[in-house]
Amino acid sequence: DLAGKVNKSSLSRIYPIVEVFISGNAWYKVYADGWCEQGNAEAYGTSSSSSERTRTLLKPYKNENYSVFLTPYASSGNLSSGYFTVKAKTRLTFTTHYNVNCSWFACGYLW
């Protein structure tokens, strides 16, 4: 099934990119059909098991039905997968367990 193997970026001739933003580590791409990919790499110092971190999206999504992917970019010997889970989402923000250094990528529809 070819549809399951084709990613949105490879369809740029069918769904042209209509808006691009890059500033430091923050970026987004908006496609003509309303699909948006965005991300950032954010450092917050040391991690803490008692804190959470709410991150603000660059573009608000249509609803909470978007995907978020987190990747650590600072080395630490004692981080578990629990550090890299999303606890809550709104159209404009998502909250992660703990306060960790990571890059994030989100994708979904704006309209």
- Could you count the other beta carbons within 10 Å of the beta carbon of residue 51? 13
Q: Bigger pLDDT: 101 or 75?
A: 101
Average pLDDT, the chain: 81
**Angle, vertex CA 22, rays to CA 18 and CA 26, nearest 5:** 120
Q: Is residue 2 scored above 50 in pLDDT?
A: no
pLDDT tens digit sequence for 37-86: 999 987 665 555 557 888 999 999 999 999 999 887 655 555 555 567 88
Q: Is residue 89 scored above 50 in pLDDT?
A: yes
Question: Contact at 8 Å (CB) between 94 and 86?
Answer: yes
pTM, two decimals, is 0.77
